[in-house]
Structure 1
Amino acid sequence: RNACLDASVSDFVAFIDDDETASPGWLVELMATADATGAAAVLGPVRAHYRQDAPDWMQKGDFHSTLPVWVRGEIRTGYTCNVLLRTTDASLRGRRFSLARGQTGGEDTEFFDAMVKAGGRIAFAPQAFVDEVVPRARAAFDWLRRRRFRFGQTHGHLIGHGAGGIRRAGQVGLASAKAAYCFGMAVLTAISPVRRNRSVLRGIMHVGVVSGLVGVREIRQYGLTSPEQGNKRAA
């Protein structure tokens, strides 16, 4: 991705992952939203397609599709599995992805977090779909567990960066409370595999936030010899 940004002489650069297929109107939809909003980055949705042998609860809950997260009406971080970047925007000039996160992941989150803090806006093009088949190695609870935990670690490191001791302690308490709530909801919804697993995974993410806030090193997800990484780069 950094090589693409270094080589590009265009005003816009679009990224998708190498295991995704763009829909016919994908780029048109991204550009239309960029023109309408003037945003520095435009995200599109990723539609996951499951193999027949994927767990039923996973298919029903659609745990692998990707959508942006809205916080008080704004998108504050993004992903490169479906995005258009306005490279001329001041918040993106000279910005590159962190090579230090090559084996942990999280470089997307860090990149867009810094972009937004520099004044860049992120918009969403709901019809700019790309499609992705979920391989067997990723259609497992353990893969989701590791990924959500690392998501939380990255978020914890970002919100804890430069924070004072009192603020950091407050964030640890908040994330711990959220984790406890999610695990409690998992118990209350144990009869529903979709709701139970969604709550457990969200609780694991908040445990990851605590881990990141207290400075625990992020887990490696890529460059491993086991199949659990699923041959997939994602941040």
Structure 2
Amino acid sequence: MVKVGVCVCTYKRPQLLIQLLKTLNTQVNIDDIDVSFIIVNNDVESNISNHLNTLKMNNIYCYLESSQGISNARNQCIRRCKEMQLDYLIFIDDDEWVGNDWLYNMMRAAKIFEADVVKGPVKTVYNNSTPKWIIESGFYEETSYETGAILEHCASGNTLVKLGVILENDHYFDQYYGLTGGEDTKFFKGIHDCGGKIIYCREAIAYEHLHIQRETMKYMLKRLYANSISYIKIEKEFSINKKDIFIRISKAILHIIMGLASLPIQLFKGKKGIFQSLSKLVKGIGQISGLINIKINLY
């Protein structure tokens, strides 16, 4: 029997966590899978045990991670899975939820494609109050692929990993990116560069409500800026050479020019147009900021 740990790092979201766990408790076609649920609470001021006890679920293990940052919480997940001698672990965010065939589809893809990592889509569910321009911008929509498509890196939300691949190469999440974002990109790129096989499974869907506080242009641009910084820093860590740096600077400058040049015209197209121009500008500035090692915390 295959042993799987579903790992959830949580921070001040008890109600959303309960919603997720309820959907995880309804999985079907998993008679050959021994599932454990590993919850790592990154909030030292709260005790979520009382919330978890209301579910009456088996195989829930709850731990506290006192060191702030998503990297620390995810690394504790890895250590706990190692202690439990599991075969796979699956990272899923505490504000997501899944259908009842999610785990079956995830494990099926891992078996069929002999994958070390399986990334499932996370579909954004918008609120009635979400501005139309945000939806049309596609900012919160992930790129979709065919099942079995090979990826070079991925995000950690809704992602299965073979534990042996992590332990063989001593892969852990970098604490430097714990509050900036980008820790998952570096983690999975490291697995890929060590020969790990990362594939996409479009059937293993997770859903995520868009938080109201993220429905602002200010937040979206800050997130884009932080992500651009982190991505460039990670590129530098993976042996980027002088030629690549020159190309990256050129592209960053081009983004800035395109953003500035298009802004006067986009002003007449409302917030969607303004965001399109500013996103190019911010992306370019973020890439240059990453090259000169500027750091900004997103969380």
Q: TM-score, normalised by structure 2?
A: 0.65
Gaps in structure 1 of 5+ consecutive residues: 223-235
Task: Report Cα offsets for 1:89-113 as digits up to 9, x if no partner.
Answer: 3786421111222221211111112
Q: Which residue of 2 aligns with 1:2?
A: 75
Amino acid at match of 2:78: L
Change (3 A) 1:183 1:128: farther
- The alpha-carbon deviation at position 150 of structure 1 amounts to 1.0
Mapped partners of 1:126, 1:84: distance in 2: 13
Q: Are residue 169 (structure 1) and residue 246 (structure 2) matched?
A: yes
Mapped partners of 1:210, 1:143: distance in 2: 20
Gaps in structure 2 of 5+ consecutive residues: 1-73
Q: Which residue of 1 aligns with 2:158?
A: 82
Mapped partners of 1:121, 1:195: distance in 2: 39
Q: Which residue of 1 aligns with 2:282?
A: 204
Q: How does 1:1-235 map to 2 (within 5 A)?
A: 1-8=74-81, 9-67=85-143, 74-89=150-165, 93-161=169-237, 162-181=239-258, 184=261, 191=269, 193-194=271-272, 197-198=275-276, 200-216=278-294, 218-222=295-299
Change (3 A) 1:99 1:178: same
Q: Secondary structure at the match of 2:129?
A: coil
RMSD, matched Cα: 2.6
Mapped partners of 1:18, 1:92: distance in 2: 28
Change (3 A) 1:92 1:113: farther
Task: Report Cα offsets for 1:149-185 as digits up to 9, x if no partner.
Answer: 1111011112223444454233211232244335545
Q: Is the 8 A contact 1:91 1:119 kept in 2?
A: no
Q: Which has the higher contact order (CA 8 A, sep 6+)?
A: 1
Change (3 A) 1:90 1:47: closer
Change (3 A) 1:200 1:75: farther
Q: Is the 8 A contact 2:251 2:284 kept in 1?
A: no
Mapped partners of 1:186, 1:39: distance in 2: 44
Amino acid at match of 1:6: R
Q: Is the 8 A contact 1:150 1:205 kept in 2?
A: no
Aligned length: 219
Q: TM-score, normalised by structure 1?
A: 0.81
Mapped partners of 2:174, 2:258: distance in 1: 33
Mapped partners of 2:128, 2:207: distance in 1: 16
- The alpha-carbon deviation at position 198 of structure 1 amounts to 3.9
Amino acid at match of 1:4: C
Pick the structure with greater CA Rg: 2
Mapped partners of 1:68, 1:115: distance in 2: 21
Tell me which moved more, 32-41 or 158-167. Answer: 158-167
Q: Which residue of 2 aligns with 1:228?
A: none
Amino acid at match of 2:195: G
Mapped partners of 2:143, 2:260: distance in 1: 23
- The alpha-carbon deviation at position 135 of structure 1 amounts to 1.6
Amino acid at match of 2:172: R
Amino acid at match of 2:75: N
Change (3 A) 1:109 1:129: same
Q: Is the 8 A contact 1:30 1:128 kept in 2?
A: yes
Q: Secondary structure at the match of 1:84?
A: strand
